[in-house]
Copies of this chain bind each other. A is one copy, B any other.
Amino acid sequence: MEQLPGPVVEHLAKGQDKYVERLCEFLRIPSISTLPAHAGDIRKAAKWLLHEAERLGFKGALYETKGHPVVYAELCPHKDAPTVLIYGHYDVQPPDPVDQWCHPPFTPTIQDGCVFARGATDDKGQFLTFFNAIESILAVDGTLPLNVKLVVEGEEEVGSPNFRAFLDAHKDLLKADFIALSDGEKYRADMPSICYGLRGLLYMQIDIQGPKYDVHSGLHGGSVVNPALALSWILSRLKDDQGKVLIPGFYGHARDLEPWERKEMARLPFDEKAEAAMLGVPKLVPEKGYTILESVRARPTLDINGIWGGFQGEGSKTIIPASAGAKVSMRLVPDQDPDEIAGLLEKYVISMAPVGVTVKVTNISSNRALIVPRDSPAIHAMARSIEYAFGVRPVFTRDGGSIGAVVAMQAGLGIEDILMLGWGDPDDALHSPNEHFSLENFRRGSLASAALLYGLAKVKTSLKPVAKEPGGSHKK
């Protein structure tokens, strides 16, 4: 397995407390990308990151986009060494429902060996393991074993709508041999994993407009078509209770699991009862014909992420709501085209629109699914680094989540070697109240990141000349 120079190991161990404090500093910035009120915090987080990178000797800048800025910085001391592009995101999910947090979501709190805060694991804590590794290597060696480029965006949690345009505008700047990121999780707390596939995401909104204002349900009940009822007619026909999506054509191009993948997945330990208990549900219901693991990691699905309309307070209000709406998103698998599916959904929804109301379908964001090659020198280096830091060989998995930026980088930069790491545990509650990150994972993740940098330095590549300076018209 990959080895680290003893002094680097020692420096990382000594630095752990300082690195945790730095993570807490980052977590105190409520960089919620989806809420316009937090635009200032987003910028603050971006500047904080750039400042940290510059402190380590990187040169970089904030790159403006139509949305939130991208932080780019590089330290490329070698003409003849490979280059790794390390991706991360500095934005976080909204913390609501806030009342379910044990600690305030933006006041990082250490408890039971974990730091609790929104973004602790997704992705601030995981991303900073690379900073820790770089800082300790530089402290010991005075240089890096390979060229490192950092690209950290502020819109991952809203589907990276402007990241592809940024990539297209800066192809030369971002040239690299490998992409590495740690924005996932281990398969199980004691089973680190390497992710070779991601689901895609299509996020849409359905709005139903009824009367121009809320009307009295006594005076008009029986003649005015109820928008919330109309919405339920439509939503109920999007997916059945067997987990099958009912949009005509939805499964048309969906690539099914390979027989060997199903076998490999079946060998992974999975405790259905423990999972249900952790989530607090009476039963898990996979797609008919598939196991739970297959359903959540490698099959397309559909969910309602939010629904609203009319009176939501205590007690009663006798109205027919003027409008009702829902956020509807789909997880996609390879070969499903989000634009095509968006069109199918819209057509299907409009075909079900009852008379008496107006139905509108909006495409909020989307990205394709991804599968990367598993058998490459870089992937092998990653496996060795993980085994060194965590003490066990990683398993290979596909992940049910979506990282649009990774898909965009694969397509936009033409880089095949994408190293999808994950130092978090499955019960870290990312996107949920009480998100947290184990300090032990933070420590081991930093070790693994350092080992990976040494390991990748030895991989033979056909590196093209590296751009020397960040540049381009978007630079600020």
Q: Chain A residues in contact with chain B, CB under 8 A?
A: 34-36, 93-94, 96-97, 100, 157-159, 199, 201, 203, 210-226, 228-229, 231-233, 235-239, 241, 243, 275, 279-287, 292, 295-296, 299, 301-322, 324, 326-327, 329, 331, 354-358, 364-365, 399-402, 426, 429-434
Whole-angstrom CA separation of A100 from B356 in the bound complex: 22
The answer to whether B159 touches A316, judged by C-beta atoms less than 8 angstroms apart, is yes
> Which of the residues B93, B355, B433 comes within 8 Å of A285, measured between beta carbons?
B355
Whole-angstrom CA separation of A447 from B304 in the bound complex: 56
Offer 11 A-B interface pairs, CB within 8 angstroms, sorted by A.
Answer: A199-B218, A214-B433, A215-B279, A217-B329, A221-B303, A221-B331, A222-B331, A229-B238, A303-B320, A304-B321, A305-B316
**Min CB distance, A446 to chain B, in Å?**
24
The answer to whether B217 touches A305, judged by C-beta atoms less than 8 angstroms apart, is yes
Q: Which residues of B contact A318 (CB under 8 A)?
A: 93, 157, 201, 203, 305, 329, 402, 431
> Which of the residues B222, B233, B356, B399 comes within 8 Å of A301, measured between beta carbons?
B222
Whole-angstrom CA separation of A454 from B164 in the bound complex: 81
Q: Give the number of copies in the complex.
A: 2
Which B residue's beta carbon lies closest to that of A287?
B222
The answer to whether B214 touches A431, judged by C-beta atoms less than 8 angstroms apart, is yes
**Min CB distance, A222 to chain B, in Å?**
4
Whole-angstrom CA separation of A311 from B310 in the bound complex: 15
- Give the 9 A-B CB pairs with smallest separation, nearest first: A218-B401, A212-B280, A222-B295, A306-B310, A306-B311, A232-B235, A236-B236, A228-B304, A34-B315
Q: A214-B432, A229-B236, A307-B312 are in contact. List 19 more A-B contacts (CB 8 A).
A: A100-B213, A157-B318, A211-B281, A217-B303, A222-B295, A222-B400, A224-B285, A228-B304, A231-B307, A232-B307, A233-B236, A236-B236, A241-B355, A283-B356, A285-B354, A304-B310, A306-B312, A306-B319, A308-B308
Which B residue's beta carbon lies closest to that of A358?
B282
> Which of the residues B229, B296, B429 comes within 8 Å of A221, measured between beta carbons?
B296
The answer to whether B218 touches A331, judged by C-beta atoms less than 8 angstroms apart, is yes
Whole-angstrom CA separation of A459 from B241 in the bound complex: 64
> Which of the residues B96, B296, B304, B308 comes within 8 Å of A220, measured between beta carbons?
B296
The answer to whether A211 touches B280, judged by C-beta atoms less than 8 angstroms apart, is yes
Q: Which residues of B contact A159 (CB under 8 A)?
A: 316
Which B residue's beta carbon lies closest to that of A213?
B432
The answer to whether B35 touches A313, judged by C-beta atoms less than 8 angstroms apart, is yes
Q: A283-B355, A305-B317 are in contact. Are A402 and B213 (CB under 8 A)?
A: no
Whole-angstrom CA separation of A235 from B236 in the bound complex: 9
**Min CB distance, A178 to chain B, in Å?**
24
Q: Which residues of B contact A212 (CB under 8 A)?
A: 279-281
**Min CB distance, A298 to chain B, in Å?**
9
